Amino acid sequence: MNRRHFIKKTTLPVIGGLFLPSWFVYACKKEVLFENLNFKGNVLIIGAGAAGLYAAYVLKSKGIDFQILEASPRYGGRLEAVNDFANFPIDLGAQWLHGQNNILGDLIKRTKTAITLDDSKQKYWFNNQLVETLPKSVDIFEKDNLPDVSYQEYAMQKGLDSSYKYIVENIAGDQGAAAAHLSVYHNNLESENWNSGDDDFKFQVTYFDLIDQQIAVKVKDKIQLNTIVTKIDYVQSSVVVTDTKNNIYQADKVIITVPITILKSGEITFLPKLSAEKTGAFSKIGMDPGMKVFLKFSTKFFDENIIGGSICAAYADESVGKVGKDNILLAFIMGDQAAALSALGSDAAITAALLKELDSMYDGKATTSFVASFVQNWTTNPFIRGAYSYSTVGMGNARTTAAQSIDNKLFFAGEAMNLNGHHQTVHGAIETGYKAVIDILKGAQ
């Protein structure tokens, strides 16, 4: 289940005790963020996910007036937890800390948050049997000078036949995409900037708890839930925002942190209209269906990681890093597989399909020891609609264009806007929220 990244070993600058990625160097003079503040206006943040919460956290620390508008009835975005399914808490959304050399890694150290290195072993479901190794290496996606074709196409070019189909789906699914959609070239190009670290960690409690207790608690009194933004008018000097109830909000600066799926949908009207270059950039950033299904069993018959299932290409032992004895297996489902399971229409049908596959792997032990399931389908969440962003074939510099601010009034944040190779991650989202605030303050100098 570990992400694969090209790691750049760098020394990161520090501001206020927080590590900053290399693309913050331009703003790393302490006085830019913490002294001689000339900004006296107010900021409106659209979206209370990790990026929006952290932007608010920094604004509050500087005494700047702000408000957060959140479309859903809860804050956290793609961070959410459940505490009553197992005898340990479970992350329904993001759950792995990908490297410690980042803002959240520093926060974890300072707060002594318990995390565990995830070095769990894996087996492959290959040619209808569980094996520890594959006949052919699948490291072909980590080479230099790769073409701008999909993972699926490149695998075929390199001689990985149909028996490797779901192994390849797992590799692409780890990046949140179907193998037919993810670009070999652009995924590797963006990964070259990764500087967070090579190891993955799991939380003894939950990722949501870290964000909730250390960040959201400071700003949640400024969050207005169930507020769906429909229009952003930035014609005048102030920005005017309208919601579905025709409530009006006015601000000097607006930080937009909604998922890329929402920006691509066009459901938020911008006045003036966004340029074709901007909307085209949104359209080139991928975000496929994604879901997580937690399966509780009376006995632990399964391996720590099972890679290559045709229904779910990635299963993982959820108890790794946790304090508790329940036997919970996570089905981590992305891309076309998530779309297919979503189409089944009910949690019971989704669960039955997964149990059938596990029965084929483990001689019927899944059904005989099954206790309960919990389905978290991010695809059907109206304010998320998928997993996380990925690099599509032919995307070019779409992420850079999408992330550019407009008229020093509109600032775009969220994991899809991360230009440091940290898209798809919570710390990557937080970096963009931080950057948006830096850009606002920098523009006020």
**Dist. CA 200–CA 118, nearest whole Å:** 6
Q: Which two tokens stand for residue 230?
A: 């429909």
- Tens digits of per-residue pLDDT, 121-178? 999 999 999 999 999 999 999 888 899 999 999 999 999 999 999 999 999 999 999 9
Confidence tier at 73 by pLDDT (50, 70, 90) = very high
The per-residue pLDDT of the chain, averaged, comes to 92
pLDDT at 372 over 80: yes
Confidence tier at 432 by pLDDT (50, 70, 90) = very high
**Dist. CA 279–CA 267, nearest whole Å:** 12
**Dist. CA 342–CA 330, nearest whole Å:** 16
Domain ranges of the chain: 14-75+206-284+396-443
> Among residues of the chain, what percentage have pLDDT more than 70?
92
pLDDT at 192 over 80: yes
Across 178-198, average pLDDT: 95
Start-to-end CA distance of the chain, whole Å, equals 45
Tell me how far the alpha carbon of residue 393 is from its chain's centroid. Answer: 20
**Dist. CA 126–CA 299, nearest whole Å:** 24
pLDDT at 198 over 80: yes
- Tell me the CB-side half-sphere exposure of residue 120, using CA atoms within 13 A: 26
Q: What is the pLDDT of residue 170?
A: 98
Q: Give kind and range of the element (H or E) at residue 116.
A: strand 115-117
* Residue among 322, 380, 429 at smallest CA distance from 91: 322
The angle formed by the CA atoms of residues 195, 317 and 389, to the nearest 5 degrees, is: 40
Peptide bond into 135 cis (omega under 30): no
- The DSSP bridge partners found for residue 315 are 306, 331
pLDDT at 10 over 90: no
Q: What is the pLDDT of residue 36?
A: 58
- Tens digits of per-residue pLDDT, 236-256? 999 999 999 999 999 999 999
Which three-class secondary structure state does DSSP give residue 230?
Answer: strand
Where do we find the tokens 């160097």?
A: 25
**Dist. CA 435–CA 420, nearest whole Å:** 12
- Tens digits of per-residue pLDDT, 76-100? 999 999 999 999 999 999 999 999 9
Q: Give kind and range of the element (H or E) at residue 271.
A: strand 269-271
**Dist. CA 116–CA 276, nearest whole Å:** 45
- 161's CB contacts (< 8 A; 6+ apart) are none
Asked whether the whole model's pTM tops 0.85, one would answer yes
pLDDT at 9 over 80: no
Q: What is the pLDDT of residue 445?
A: 64
Q: Which burial class, exposed, middle or buried, applies to 197 when counting CB atoms under 10 A from its CB (0-12, 13-18, 19+)?
A: middle
- Alpha-carbon torsion 153, 286, 72, 105, what sign? positive
Out of 30-39, 188-197, 368-377, 390-399, pick the least confident.
30-39
Q: Which two tokens stand for residue 331?
A: 């089905």
Domain 14-75+206-284+396-443 has CATH 3.50.50.60: yes
Q: Which two tokens stand for residue 17?
A: 């005790």
Where do we find the tokens 């850079």?
A: 400
